[in-house]
Amino acid sequence: MYPKEIEKYLLKVQKPGRYVGGELGEVIKDKHDVDVRFAFCFPDTYEIGMSHLGIKILYSLFNEKPYIWCERVFAPWIDMEAEMRAHDIPLYALESGDPLTDFDFIGFTLQYELSFTNILNMLSLGGIPVLSRDRHDLNHIVVAGGPCACNPEPITDFIDIFFLGDGEEVDLEVIELYRECKRDGKSRAEFLRLAAQIPGVYVPSLYDVSYNDDGTIKSVIPRDGAPEKVEKRVIMDMDSCYYPDNFVLPNIEIVHDRAVMEIFRGCIRGCRFCQAGFLYRPVREKSIDRINEECHALCRNTGYDEVSLSSLSSSDYTQVVPMLKKLNSWAKPEQVSLSLPSLRVDGFSDDILDEIKTVRKSGLTFAPEAGSQRLRDAINKNVFEDELINTCRVAFEGGYTTVKLYFMIGLPTETMDDVAAIADLGKKVLDTYYSVENRPKGKSPRVTLSASSFVPKPFTPFQWEPQDTMDTLREKQQHIKASIASKKISVSKVTYNYHDTDTSFLEAVFARGDRKLNKAMLLAHQRGMRFDSWSDCFSLQNWLDVFAECGIDPAFYANRRRDFDETLPWDHLDYGITKDFLKRECERAYASQTSPNCREGCMNCGMKKYGGGVCYEKR
């Protein structure tokens, strides 16, 4: 329930439905009946946050516990923020309408670096001191998890606890510990010290970081018995892992409004640019029976007529066709359509197409990532041109007319020839369309080439690489455009989109940043900066001003090549991947040499220690 006083302002803002809750499936409890109140904050708008699977899983998991009440909080858009600030309305949770100050935990999910400023803004809107050191009592514990927790150093001044890896178990252990500490009258400091003993918990205030004269890290020393290395948590048995059988059903349109079924975690591929592909290793699958059961319940309970079978690379599910067939045994008669997002070029077969095209036929998207085979080898994107062309042919024969291809520019070892090859590939796909005899009649094909700027990320073989400067990236974008023109590809049939180099630069700064960036983050917040991932709000110049004032050179983080033996800001965090493996993979990239995926041959990345998953499958 929203606070009564906001009613007056709701009709002055865009999409007031974002701010009122009241959806089917929201969990309402009596606050007097619970011991722990958890505000699950998504540092972006309602429409984006409500589309996110992680929040759905943890929301339901927490609320299954009678002693926890977990509520949702999203970042108000700038129009609503202005009203709230003008009328002293603190940021509130959608279920109770209570301000953040009423909560024991304020939890954020860290999905992208450019949402960091929103975290500070949400804390301040909620009346919570933004700096950890200004929070004293045993309440208002600010926690964060999600992929960006793998290098949380730029926001260590603001967050009390980071959760590393799968959250389902560790989050509850920390909540339970809090409950005990509260009961025993322990202090905030005591609680944090005890929490640091739980595997997967990183309490940044218990680590002292010192620097060399050149600005690189000299040492990271734990205090008060905190572990030297914090290891991520992994849930090995996906069949026994909690999965919600219902979602909160939004009343307004959101980005992805459909049922989502997670079919496995991790990725066998090892594309060298992809952070998620390494962070979530090893691959652990859910069984077909479990997927079938959970998926059917979810569709029945939510009423959705579309379910997305989610993972990092869904066609890599070992039994993908039998799974689709099993699901379709009820999905077809119940008019529920199945979709496989993140489909690989080589994972696209007639069999799969038969099972998923039944109801809807939208455009196809593939991510070859690089234009030339040489560069695809260097990044270990094991996709071959003939596979892509064959797949497009199958799709065109099956009635598809639009194909969207995603690429990256600025990849390590990339030359201008590799860049021009992006346009070539677009041309070849278009030619394929015209070579198909039974292509859809009366429709014009459309090939979209989309290029984003590569951002080197921690825990990948490219973690030591410099990002191309913004000038180089712009040059490369122009080169693609020029190459399209010289190929005489009709502009109406091939579109070319490119993403902002400015935001990629900032992303690169924060992705591999260290604790010195906390100062910049705070200053940016004090200057009212937020929603950096939205072009409406982002300004690179504002950021450059902030860095200059803090004496920070952003190029040190974004554009500098690191030595293999440099101590990296995230070296005290352990995601299971060994540095030795990453080094080997980086060297293979320099030699344009591919590596087998986990099912073809093990590269000993370090994940065997978890004792299960793909590492122990029969090959």
Q: What is the binding site for ligand SF4 (CB under 6 A)?
A: 281-282, 598, 602-605, 607-608, 614-615
From the list ligand SF4, another protein, none, partner contacted by residue 608 (C-beta under 5 to 8 A by kind): ligand SF4
From the list another protein, ligand SF4, none, partner contacted by residue 607 (C-beta under 5 to 8 A by kind): ligand SF4
From the list ligand SF4, another protein, none, partner contacted by residue 602 (C-beta under 5 to 8 A by kind): ligand SF4
Find the shortest distance in angstroms from Cβ 613 to ligand SF4.
7
Q: Which is nearer to ligand SF4, 277 or 554 (CB)?
A: 277
Whether the CB-CB separation of 138 and 188 falls below 8 Å is answered with yes
How far is it, in rounded angstroms, from Cα 56 to Cα 48?
A: 12
- Interface with another protein in residues 256-315 (CB under 8 A): 257, 300-305
Residue 78 burial (10 A CB sphere; 0-12, 13-18, 19+): middle
Rule CB under 8 A: is residue 604 a binding residue for another protein? no
Q: 453: which 2 tokens?
A: 């700027």
Q: Which is nearer to another protein, 304 or 462 (CB)?
A: 304
- Interface with another protein in residues 477-506 (CB under 8 A): none
586-591 long-range contacts, CB within 8 A, separation 24+: 586/272, 586/461, 586/462, 586/464, 586/465, 588/380, 588/461, 589/272, 589/378, 589/379, 589/380, 589/412, 589/413, 589/461, 589/462, 590/378, 590/412, 590/413
From the list ligand SF4, another protein, none, partner contacted by residue 2 (C-beta under 5 to 8 A by kind): another protein
Rule CB under 8 A: is residue 251 a binding residue for another protein? yes
Find the shortest distance in angstroms from Cβ 280 to ligand SF4.
10
How far is it, in rounded angstroms, from Cα 404 to Cα 497?
A: 10
Rule CB under 8 A: is residue 536 a binding residue for another protein? no
Phi, psi at 438, each rounded to 5°? -100, 45
Give Cβ neighbours of residue 303 (< 8 Å, ≥ 6 apart). 249
From the list ligand SF4, another protein, none, partner contacted by residue 22 (C-beta under 5 to 8 A by kind): another protein
- Interface with another protein in residues 314-353 (CB under 8 A): 335
Rule CB under 8 A: is residue 363 a binding residue for another protein? no
Give Cβ neighbours of residue 263 (< 8 Å, ≥ 6 apart). 285, 286, 291, 309, 310, 311, 314, 317, 323
Q: 439: which 2 tokens?
A: 């292509």
Find the shortest distance in angstroms from Cβ 47 to another protein.
12
Find the shortest distance in angstroms from Cβ 611 to ligand SF4.
11
For residue 4, the tally of other CB atoms under 10 A from its CB is 8
From the list ligand SF4, another protein, none, partner contacted by residue 118 (C-beta under 5 to 8 A by kind): none
Find the shortest distance in angstroms from Cβ 580 to another protein.
51
Beta bridge partners of 207: 222
Find the shortest distance in angstroms from Cβ 8 to another protein.
5
Query: Tokens 């596979």 correspond to what residue?
Result: 387
DSSP readout, 588-617? HHHTT-----TTT-----SGGGG--GGGGS
Residue 406-435 contact track with another protein, rule CB under 8 A, x = bound: ------------------------------
Q: What does each C-alpha distance from 344 to 143, 347, 614 come to in angstroms?
A: 35, 5, 19
Give Cβ neighbours of residue 615 (< 8 Å, ≥ 6 apart). 282, 598, 602, 607, 608
How far is it, in rounded angstroms, from Cα 429 to Cα 436?
A: 11
Rule CB under 8 A: is residue 27 a binding residue for another protein? no
From the list another protein, ligand SF4, none, partner contacted by residue 407 (C-beta under 5 to 8 A by kind): none
| Residue (of 91, 89, 117) closest to 106 by Cα position | 91
From the list another protein, ligand SF4, none, partner contacted by residue 575 (C-beta under 5 to 8 A by kind): none
Q: 261: which 2 tokens?
A: 């079924």
From the list another protein, ligand SF4, none, partner contacted by residue 614 (C-beta under 5 to 8 A by kind): ligand SF4
From the list another protein, ligand SF4, none, partner contacted by residue 615 (C-beta under 5 to 8 A by kind): ligand SF4
Q: Which of 53, 78, 236, 252 binds another protein (CB under 8 A)?
A: 252
Beta bridge partners of 25: none
Q: Which is nearer to ligand SF4, 265 or 281 (CB)?
A: 281
From the list another protein, ligand SF4, none, partner contacted by residue 305 (C-beta under 5 to 8 A by kind): another protein
Rule CB under 8 A: is residue 82 a binding residue for another protein? no
Find the shortest distance in angstroms from Cβ 306 to another protein.
10
Q: Which of 88, 213, 253, 386 binds another protein (CB under 8 A)?
A: 253
How far is it, in rounded angstroms, from Cα 346 to Cα 338?
A: 19
Residue 384 burial (10 A CB sphere; 0-12, 13-18, 19+): middle
Q: Which is nearer to another protein, 354 or 387 (CB)?
A: 354
Specify the pairing of strand 68-74 against strand 36-42: parallel
Q: Which residues bind another protein (CB under 8 A)?
A: 1-2, 7-8, 10-11, 16-17, 19-24, 249, 251-253, 257, 300-305, 335, 360
